[in-house]
Structure 1
Amino acid sequence: MTIILNSCNQPKKEDSSSKPVEFKFLLEQFADLKIMRYQVPGFESLDLKQKELIYYLSQAAISGRDIIFDQNGRYNLAIRRTMENIYSTYSGDKSSEEWKNFVVYLKRIWFSNGIYHHYGSEKFLPSFSQDYFMELVKNTDQSKFPVRPGQSVDQLIAELIPFIFDPNVLPKKVNLETGTDLVKTSAVNFYDGLSEEEVEGFYKGMAQPNPQEPLSFGINSKLVKENGKLMEKVWKIGGMYSSAIEKIVFWLNKATEVAENEQQKQWLEELISYYQTGDLKTWDKYNVLWVSDHISNVDVVNGFIENYEDPLGRKATWESVVDFKDIEATKRAETISANAQWFEDHSPVDPGFRKKQVKGVSAKVITVAQLGGDCYPSTPIGINLPNADWIRKEHGSKSVTMENITYAYDQAALGNGMLEEFAFTAEEQELAKKYGSLASNVHTDLHECLGHGSGQLLPGTSSEALKNYQSTLEEARADLFALYFIMDPKMVQLGVIPSEGSAKAEYNAYIRNGLITQLCRIERGKNIEEAHMRNRQLIAKWCFEHGKESNVIEFVKKENKTFIRINDYNKLRELFGKLLAEIQRIKSEGDFHAGQKLVEDYGVRVDQQLHKEVLERFKKLNVAPYGGFINPTFTLIENDGKVKEVKIDYPIDYATQMMEYSTNYSFLPTWN
């Protein structure tokens, strides 16, 4: 008897066993978003045990989806489930313009894991009226709304309406505006009823048991006040988010049964122990074991990892990426990591801020098999972990470049007109077409593999000293490391890039994006909120200002359109080096005020006249500035209780996958 266990039962899909067809990368666009698919080349060549491992890890990756919704705002699950009930059971007209607007609003909620823009952090509002919303509610199955115990549907809707329709009620997921209480004015669900001063005081009062190996206090908990006393609600089995974490652990336990080797099994078991206890020492032990595993082909990131969504840079969102090594492409990354000490020794930063001995740097190019949590649907293109500075210094770091993801982005963007519209010359366009994809991947390799792992803190400097500016400055530091070294002759000598043309293509793309094209992602009249975007403008604008005397970068006009032109690539590299040296000093010394000034002076404010022009030019292209992916699905094929094969399929419908996840992988209560 053959039993098929389908991890994502999608009615619309392209069967991998059907005759070859052209793979469709771009599926749909709405609002400022595009939905894409990615391929998983090489999956069929894995052995059965590795395929089964990927299946179990993928199940764990999508089992934590509710967690990121709740972390992004305490009303997100209630709003999502309310909208999904309407989407599924509304009995009225589904052909009207307002219904279409309703569907777009729900799709945006799915994409952003809540009601706040995934990148800009501002609350997005429905394009349908409150009266229409009430009509939808009235004609929807009343028994399936996510009411609290003893609450009526009318009371639920009255509670939710201000958070959906009022632009002044919790308007930002993460507020980084200087001079405000960052905790009180941020909607993220990491703190409850507290001020920034109270939070800072709570964690300052926690003594590190071993200052040489500081624990990541607060990374896996919500801080609340109960009966006048501050306390942490830890995210673990038996604690907050327990029902979802139990499912994650169930699948991780299954994964240990088919681990590739004892080392991999050991760190998987340690991760399970961490989820069971919430113990931060166990978290560090897991990270040390994980970062030391250089032999496994299949790998996973799973946990409360990045702190970008906490205005204080302490709490971490839940995420997961399941992957396996791209053997051929990894040769490039391994060449870079094998020369890590050379790059560190030749860094333009003060010698006192360099690592005397670079340890445990590993880099690989991966094929992503599944995305989850804060990495889904929108995903990074590279990762460098773990984040703890002491582990990176003593045990090294793992860096990955997600090449099948970058390939999917490139394929979906073919012919969209962006390059032709914003590149100044035909020569610039040709450099981009010839070298752009490789140059971007090499930048990511350098950024993740060496940039984040470079340098060191001075004794006594806290890794949290830069507070809400930490994320922007850390991304700038890693970008500058990549930009400085991609132009170094060593890169050609090592065979990583074919010629200096690759570096020029990357310089053109980076400065063009930092000064001009990323403005298409910002709402008219707004400044920059997101850490990566602040970082890019900071670098580009600082180099423009400090290179004015030599006219290193200039704004030029052609046919009443604004472009940038780099006049001296070598001097631009020198500027990258000078800024890298300063930002490394800021990090090494924990110079908060210098870091704050750098970000506020160069990374935040937008030239409104240029912004208006860019938005008008961009609108004519009909291109969505942000993109994300739907996941492939994996199916276990069993015979007499034994796994015989794991089948991969590529769904083609975004809404179907989202509703399937909400039906079969939604494990948290509405109110947590």
Structure 2
Amino acid sequence: MATPSNLLADSPPTICLLEIAPHFNALTATEKLYAHHISRASFLGTRIVLRQISPESEAIYDLILAAYKAVSGDWLKLSSDTEAVQYWIEYAAQFLGNCGNYKSFGDQKFVPRVPKEKLEELMAYNDQLKGLFEMCAEGIYSFAPAAKTLLGYPQDGHVSQYYPGSPGITKEDIAKVHAETSGKFSPENTRLRKTAVDGKEKFELLVASADEGREMVGEVEVVFGDHKDVMAKIVAECDAAAEAALNDTQRDMFKKYSESFKTGSINAHKESQKLWVQDKGPKVESDLGFIESYRDPHGIRAEWEGFVAMVNQEQTKKFGELVARASEFIPRLPWADEFEKDTFLKPDFTSLEVLSFCTSGIPAGINIPNYDDIRQNHGFKNVSLGNILSAKAPNEKVTFVKDSDLALFEGLKGSAFEVQVGVHELLGHGTGKLLQEVEKGKYNFDIDNPPVSPVTGEKVKTWYGVGETWGGVFGSIAASYEECRAECVAMYLGGEKDLLKIFGFTDDSEKKADDVLYIEYLQMARAGLLALEFWDPEYKKWGQGHMQARYSILQTMLQAGDNFVTLESSAADHNDLVIALDRTKIRSHGIPAIGKYLQKLHVFKSTADFAAGEKLYAEMCTVNEHMAKYREVVMRKKLPRKQFVQANTKLVNGEVKLVEYEASLEGLIKSFAEREV
């Protein structure tokens, strides 16, 4: 049976180089050493990410690296069949770029274009490769049943290594174990296994740590030492980073990282994040740990993530002004003071140039930590990743944009995205109060006179109970819902002239403010249309939270009325599909429509009204027959997602050397192979 075309690996994948040399070379020897150890700690987590994706991912990784080593990077030694070799290295590069054989954007499996029999011939190069291929061949090529080509709940037939070896585990099982253990263990750095012993079900909560051990919590056995081999190496690098730290805060922070990764303590990791928030304006910025929960179908377990980057001082000045003036913009959001933090904790907001970023998919901006209590009481940081934003592939095509808009879109898409990311991270994720009973009988709002909901016009009737969190209450939709809320904040404030001026855009500037606003809305509408790639029509399932959010925003714009946004197509196959956006109606129709949607999203989140929030979000994310008909043309015209070639660092006679690679398939594979040394 032929592999479905939508599962075939990109040919060729889009390869981009992350430029870093000028920023790294400007560091002192001590700063370079500090960055080196963090980079090592970050990328040592690669195997953790692989183990969180699919059962076969780590074996495929070993096969790729062993093949590289066997031929010393000269891939044609495998075979004179140049097409087969090319398809193999295309798959290998895409696998490494996604840190697994499921796409980081879309959570869908991808399969090599080289036939299984031909790849088997290539891997017969030596006995080691032959053995490794036999171990993972089925995992590489299987695409039936179709449910297993998507990440998701095992009970729905999907794949999730957050629940390894547990095909029978149910959503109810996961919720039950979480409820039973949450008072003592946080789920971020765990996996959950369900087995049967003598016909009786058994649950094991696997905690990532270098130390081993076991204890019982109710009916759940907590098992320490998941990823112990990797965690021990990460601990050693964190200890070395603490020795090389540039100040006391960084030293103490890496000691807490080390403690957390050694013992599995999330409390120690939370202490590291409190220190991280206090480390203001570092020249070398970083963060490590189990951070984002997008890929856990239950939305509570997090993927390993680690990065180290250099601060771009010039770009950071803009973000610094945005932070300084945040109090001017927050009151303009469509909710009353009762739904906003009592005090806005001004974060660091920096523009970074990435040296190393280990994760399945590198974001353009970050707002962390994700721990609600730290964000509320200690603050957070925002970072914009400059060399991710600026990375451009040669001959990059623009789809679904009118010919008359192309020149303006090409000229301003980077500027519009910079504004979107900046406001999204700072004022999107950084705003909002969770109404809560903080301890028995004590509330962070006037319980005798609760605030009036601007959505219903009545006093609110719901709030978070003692110990409840936003993620815990909203569960699997929390991550995507919050991304949508943050995107809407950026869209709602995107037309504020004084905000655009901070980024250098005015009516008189070379890049005019209204043009940037127009491209911001056009870019979001296009992103919402492209999001259809990440919706599975068979299972009616969204595979990527950010894109699901953007689709719902496109729906908001389409529903704004008066033909503010329309999708135009005259061809039977919709091959001429373009987005028509009336720029004269952005302020009269677009911003008000976004504001109304944002208000609901925010108030439902603030008041723990999951029932209303889930209903709203499900409605706005529904792909009806009218929209589903456009998915085929989106799939026909889809562009490969960028894969980034990152530099490496090596310690040579006590001196840190930067190693860069060419922007090619071979360069990307080589960079990973040399990190394993």
Shorter-chain TM-score bucket reads 0.7 to 0.9
Once the two structures are TM-superposed, the CA of residue 43 in structure 1 deviates from its matched residue by 2.3
- Distance change >3 Å, CA 207–CA 117, structure 1 → 2: closer
Alpha-carbon distance in 1 for matches of 2:500, 2:488: 19
Paired letter, 2:382: S
1:485 Cα offset (Å)? 0.8
After TM superposition, give the deviation of residue 244 of structure 1 in Å. Answer: 1.2
- Letter in structure 2 aligned against 1:535: A
What is the match of residue 75 of structure 1?
56
CA distance in 1, matches of 2:106, 2:326: 34
TM-score by length of 2: 0.81
Partner of 2:648: 633
Does 2:29 align with 1:43?
no
Name the residue aligned to 1:196: 171
Match of 1:506 in 2: 520
1:107 aligns with 2:87: no
1:586–1:592: 8 Å Cα contact kept in structure 2?
yes
Question: Partners in 2 of 1:51 and 1:399 — Cα distance?
Answer: 23
Higher relative contact order (CA 8 A, sep 6+): 1
- Give 2:633's aligned residue: 613
Classify the secondary structure of the residue corresponding to 2:31.
helix
Which residue matches 2:593? 575
Corresponding position: 1:174 with 2:151:
yes
**Equivalent position of 1:422 in the other structure:** 400
Q: SS state of the match for residue 466, structure 1?
A: helix
Distance 2:23 2:82 in 1: 44
CA-based RMSD of the aligned residues comes to 2.9
C-alpha distance in 2, partners of 1:475/1:591? 17
Aligned to 2:557: 543
Q: Which amino acid aligns with 2:641?
A: Y
1:654–1:220 distance in 2 versus 1, CA, 3 Å: same
**What secondary structure sits across from 2:210 in the alignment?**
coil
- Please give the residue correspondences for 1:8-87 in structure 2 after superposition, counting only pairs within 5 Å: 30-31=10-11, 33-40=13-20, 41-82=22-63, 84-85=65-66
Please give the per-residue CA displacement for 1:400-432, whole angstroms capped at 9, x wherever unaligned: 0011221123xx25x5341xx532252x33443
Identify which range, 278-287 or 522-531, moves more after superposition. Answer: 522-531
Contact 2:111/2:140, CA 8 A, preserved across alignment: no
Per-residue CA deviation, residues 355-410 of structure 1 (Å, 9 max, x unaligned), is 12111422111111112133xxx41110110001111111111000011221123x
**3-state SS, counterpart of residue 318 of structure 1:** strand
Worse-matched range after superposition: 115-124 or 272-281 = 115-124
Kept in 2, the 8 Å contact 1:123–1:167? The answer is no
Q: Which residue, out of 599, 619, 625, partners 1:601?
A: 619
Kept in 2, the 8 Å contact 1:443–1:482? The answer is yes
2:366 is equivalent to residue 352 of structure 1: no
Task: Quote the sequence identity (%).
Answer: 22
CA positional deviation for 1:658: 2.8
Return the offset for 1:488. 1.5
- Are 2:425 and 1:448 equivalent residues in the alignment? yes
Q: Distance in 1 between matches of 2:477 and 2:152?
A: 12
In 1, the alpha carbon distance for the partners of 2:176 and 2:285 equals 38
Q: Which residue identity does 2:193 align to in structure 1? A: V
Q: Is the 8 A contact 1:102 1:126 kept in 2?
A: yes
Deviation of 1:99 (Å): 4.2
Sort the Cα spacing of 1:204 and 1:191 in 2 relative to 1 into closer, same or farther, 3 A. farther
**Contact 1:637 1:646 (C-alpha < 8 Å) held by counterparts:** yes
Q: Is 2:487 the counterpart of 1:479?
A: yes
Q: Distance in 2 between matches of 1:163 and 1:436?
A: 37
Find the aligned partners of 1:164 and 1:566 in 2 and give their Cα distance: 42
Q: What SS does structure 2 have at the residue aligned with 1:46? A: coil
Deviation per CA, 1:186-217: give whole Å up to 9, x if none.
333444422221110011123537xxxxx7x2
CA contact (8 A) 2:84 2:119 kept: no
Residue 191 (structure 2) aligns with: 222
Q: 1:15 is matched with which residue?
A: none
What is the rounded CA distance, in whole Å, between the counterparts of 1:565 and 1:244 in structure 2?
51
TM-superposed CA distance for 1:475, in Å, is 0.5
**Match for residue 590 of structure 1 among 593, 608, 618:** 608
Aligned to 1:237: 210
Counterpart-to-counterpart distance in 2, 1:484 and 1:401 = 20
Aligned partner of residue 577 in structure 2, secondary structure: strand
Q: Which deviates further from its counterpart, 467-476 or 557-566?
A: 557-566
The equivalent residue for 1:408 is 391
Distance change (3 Å), C-alpha of 1:128 and 1:522:
farther
Contact 2:484 / 2:553 at 8 angstroms: preserved in 1? yes
Contact in 2 for aligned 1:86/1:136 (Cα 8 Å): no
SS in 1 for 2:305: strand
Q: CA deviation at 1:237?
A: 0.8
What letter corresponds to residue 33 of structure 1 in structure 2? P
CA distance in 2: counterparts of 1:92 and 1:502, whole angstroms = 50
The answer for the alignment partner of 2:127 in structure 1 is 142
Q: Distance in 1 between matches of 2:382 and 2:363?
A: 12
Counterparts in 2 of 1:268-307, with a 5 A limit?
268-307=254-293
Deviation larger for 499-508 or 264-273? 499-508
The 8 Å contact of residues 78 and 146 in structure 1, kept in 2 or not, is answered as: no
* Aligned-residue offset at 1:608: 3.5
User: Structure 2 counterpart of 1:579, which letter?
Assistant: Y
1:35 & 1:48 partners in 2: Cα distance?
31
Q: Is the 8 A contact 2:94 2:643 kept in 1?
A: no
Q: Could you tell me which residue of structure 2 aligns to residue 658 of structure 1? A: 669
Aligned to 2:315: 329
User: Does the 8 A contact of 1:432 with 1:505 survive in 2?
Assistant: yes
Structure 1 residues 63 and 84: CA distance shift in structure 2, 3 A = closer
Deviating more after overlay: 473-482 vs 59-68: 59-68
SS in 1 for 2:327: helix
- The SS at the match of 1:233 is strand
Cα distance change on mapping 1:189 and 1:145 into 2, 3 Å? farther
Cα distance change on mapping 1:431 and 1:105 into 2, 3 Å:
closer
1:16 maps to what in 2?
A: none
What is the distance in 1 between the residues matched to 2:37 and 2:78? 40
Cα pair distance change 1:441/1:660, threshold 3 Å: closer
Task: Letter of the 2:38 partner, please give it.
Answer: L
State the 1:225 CA deviation: 3.4
Distance 2:140 2:364 in 1: 32
The residue type equivalent to 2:676 in the other structure is Y
Q: Which residue of 1 aligns with 2:111?
A: 125
Question: Which residue in 1 is equivalent to 2:566?
Answer: 554
Letter in 2 for 1:165: S
Larger mean CA deviation between 486-495 and 194-203 belongs to 486-495
1:388 maps to 371
> Aligned with 1:42: secondary structure?
helix
Is the contact made by 1:122 and 1:173 (CA closer than 8 Å) also made in structure 2? yes
For 1:660 and 1:325, locate their aligned partners in 2 and report how far apart those are by CA, in whole Å. 23
Shift of 1:88: 5.7
Closer, same or farther: CA 593–174 of 1 in aligned 2, 3 Å: farther
SS in 1 for 2:416: helix
Aligned partner of residue 62 in structure 1, secondary structure: helix
Deviation at 1:628, TM superposition (A): 1.5
The CA deviation string for residues 74-117 of structure 1, in whole angstroms up to 9 with x for no partner, is 22112333455456659863415444433333333223222222
Distance 2:608 2:309 in 1: 35
- For 1:18, the equivalent position in structure 2 comes to none
* In structure 2, distance between residues paired with 1:554 and 1:652: 38
Partner AA of 2:387 in structure 1: N
1:301/1:604 CA distance change after superposition, 3 Å: farther
Residue correspondence of structure 1 range 201-216 to structure 2 within 5 A: 201-206=176-181, 208=183
Partner of 1:488: 496
- Please give the per-residue CA displacement for 1:527-572, whole angstroms capped at 9, x wherever unaligned: 6421111100001112312x12x33222334787232222210120
